[in-house]
Structure 1
Amino acid sequence: MFGRYLWARPYRIVVLVLLSWLNPFVVINAGHRGVITTFGKVNQTVLEEGLHFRIPIMQQVREINVQIQKAEGDGDAASRDLQQVHTKIALNYHLIPTRVAETFQLVGDLNSVGDRIIVPAVQEAFKATTAKYTAEELISKRPEVRDQISQFMKDRLLRHGIAIDEFSIVNFRFSESFNQAIEGKTTADQLKLKAERDLERIKVEAEQKIASAKAEAEALRLQKQEITPD
């Protein structure tokens, strides 16, 4: 019996070494999900946080980050009145946890998502939306423009298993000639408004003078009536 125990010890060591080498257990960290591939084929079952078992050699597990990510992209497009417009768009997004296997299969890892999906989507959304507005409307209707670009982005990214958490347009930038034209128009509008106010003031002053003259004339007439003998 003691001899069999001595023979069993090497087998146990071999088993432990094999388990260590084959590594059948995998841990998915907080804020991540696991994507299983069996001989390279993606399994649509997503592993949540915690300890999981995999079939050694046959299966590999890719850990995918589903935490909120920040991205910024530049947009260049033409407005409806053919003015060149540049902007910077910032957004926070995350991979939808239940769809990470689909996203990984179609797009790749998180870096691929940024390069292949986010950046092109920013350009497409900006171009499609700015084409509906004149340059002045892009300024005066900025909240409406932002909401349209945001909705376009949400619809586009959702197809790839990506959700937007926050979205903002940092700024609109136009050509120098357009900026000068806007400044000229603003100055002209201000001068026009001043002229209209001056005209209104002159009219009021003239009416006041007329009213004052009429009052003086009426007072003189009454005085004459008082001193004229019957």
Structure 2
Amino acid sequence: MKNQYGQSWQAILGGVLLALLILVLSSSFVIINPGEAGVISILGKARDGALLEGIHIKPPLVSKVDIYDVTVQKYEVPAQSATRDLQDLKARFAINFRLDPTRVVEIRRTQGTLENLVSKIISPQTQEAFKIAAAIRTAEESITKRSELKSDFDIALSSRLEKYGVIILDTSVIDLNFSTEFAKAVEDKQIAEQRAQRAVYIAREAEQEAQAEINRAQGKAEAQRLLAETLKAQGGQLVLQKEAIEAWREGGAQMPNVLVMGGESSSVPFLFNLQRFQEAK
């Protein structure tokens, strides 16, 4: 009986020891997947050296590994500033960034989590970078030179976040708004410019039409001058007779059966409709 009891305890103790051994072995290494970086903390203190992709040995039971996502992250951050001409300017940026894998230990020690990094570092630095970019140009320039505003913002933000182990990949201006009063002023200015351009167009059109009338008048005068010179020259009577016949045709009258040309005393042809004469008889 005692023998059986002793064997039971040995079996239980053996099972416990085996479980402890499995627990120790399983907690003695960690696997870091692609796109991740880890930080070992022993009794709450972060150890130097980031854990990159692969299998890593760590002290069992007393250590903990914090995993950080080092792939591209995207956050939308609001910002507000005043332009050089003291106009309120509000914006919203979409920021694409990633953590520097080799500096996750520093991030762990200073910020703790990614959420803390965004709220305490990225968001405030976005605000400061936007103030730098907006303050060097007027409100109108912020609209007409939006790409330059974004470029200055990118440079300022990248330089500020680099020291925190954050790598800026790209930013996008999602929204850019001014005060209601300034927006109304811009709209009124655009309407005034459009009206001015319309007035210039109408003036140019009238000028072109007037020049066309002058050209037509000059052409008509020149044609009359040439016709007069032709009539004075030898054979002018024939020209006059031709003009009379063409004018008569353009009037839509029926072609006469007889065309009688005047003598020396007349230069205009005499048109005689023989058909009408026959009907009268």
What is the TM-score when the length of structure 2 is the normalising length? 0.71
SS of the equivalent of 1:217 reads helix
Deviation at 1:92, TM superposition (A): 1.9
More divergent stretch after superposition (45-54 vs 194-203): 45-54
SS of the equivalent of 2:133 reads helix
| Match of residue 20 from structure 1 | 23
Deviation at 1:43, TM superposition (A): 2.1
What is the TM-score when the length of structure 1 is the normalising length? 0.85
More divergent stretch after superposition (73-82 vs 220-229): 220-229
CA contact (8 A) 1:28 1:47 kept: no
From 180, 197, 211, the counterpart of 2:215: 211
Aligned residue pairs, count: 226
| Match of residue 115 from structure 1 | 119
SS of the equivalent of 1:47 reads coil
CA contact (8 A) 1:28 1:63 kept: no
From 165, 175, 179, the counterpart of 2:179: 175
SS of the equivalent of 2:49 reads strand
Judging changes above 3 Å, is the alpha-carbon distance between structure 1 residues 162 and 113 closer, same or farther for their aligned structure 2 residues?
Answer: same
| Match of residue 140 from structure 1 | 144
CA contact (8 A) 2:24 2:61 kept: no
For 2:223 and 2:70, the matched residues in 1 are separated by 89
For residues 49-90 of structure 1, give each alpha carbon's deviation from its aligned partner in whole angstroms, at most 9, with x where no partner exists: 343322246543322222322211111111111111111101
Deviation at 1:154, TM superposition (A): 1.6
For 1:139 and 1:77, the matched residues in 2 are separated by 14
Deviation at 1:162, TM superposition (A): 1.0
Deviation at 1:228, TM superposition (A): 4.2
SS of the equivalent of 2:71 reads coil
Q: Does 1:84 align with 2:106?
A: no
More divergent stretch after superposition (185-194 vs 15-24): 15-24
Instruction: State the identity %.
Output: 34
Structure 1: gaps of 5 or more residues: 1-5
CA contact (8 A) 2:73 2:97 kept: yes
Deviation at 1:12, TM superposition (A): 8.3
CA contact (8 A) 2:24 2:60 kept: no
For 2:24 and 2:76, the matched residues in 1 are separated by 42
| Match of residue 52 from structure 1 | 56
For residues 81-138 of structure 1, give each alpha carbon's deviation from its aligned partner in whole angstroms, at most 9, with x where no partner exists: 1111111101122211111111222222111111111111111111110111111211
Q: Does 1:98 align with 2:105?
A: no
Alignment-mate amino acid for residue 17 of structure 1? L
From 151, 158, 161, the counterpart of 1:157: 161
Greater radius of gyration (CA): 2
CA contact (8 A) 2:32 2:38 kept: no
Structure 2: gaps of 5 or more residues: 1-8, 235-281
CA contact (8 A) 1:26 1:61 kept: no
Alignment-mate amino acid for residue 55 of structure 1? P
Deviation at 1:16, TM superposition (A): 4.7
SS of the equivalent of 1:133 reads coil
- Which structure has more strand as a fraction of its residues? 1
Alignment-mate amino acid for residue 198 of structure 2? K
| Match of residue 271 from structure 2 | none
For 2:124 and 2:105, the matched residues in 1 are separated by 22
More divergent stretch after superposition (62-71 vs 206-215): 62-71
Off by >6 Å, runs of 4+ in structure 1 = 6-9
Alignment-mate amino acid for residue 142 of structure 1? R
CA contact (8 A) 1:27 1:49 kept: no
Judging changes above 3 Å, is the alpha-carbon distance between structure 1 residues 93 and 225 closer, same or farther for their aligned structure 2 residues?
Answer: same
For 1:29 and 1:229, the matched residues in 2 are separated by 109
For residues 175-228 of structure 1, give each alpha carbon's deviation from its aligned partner in whole angstroms, at most 9, with x where no partner exists: 111111111111111111111111111111111111222222222233333334
Judging changes above 3 Å, is the alpha-carbon distance between structure 1 residues 28 and 154 closer, same or farther for their aligned structure 2 residues?
Answer: farther
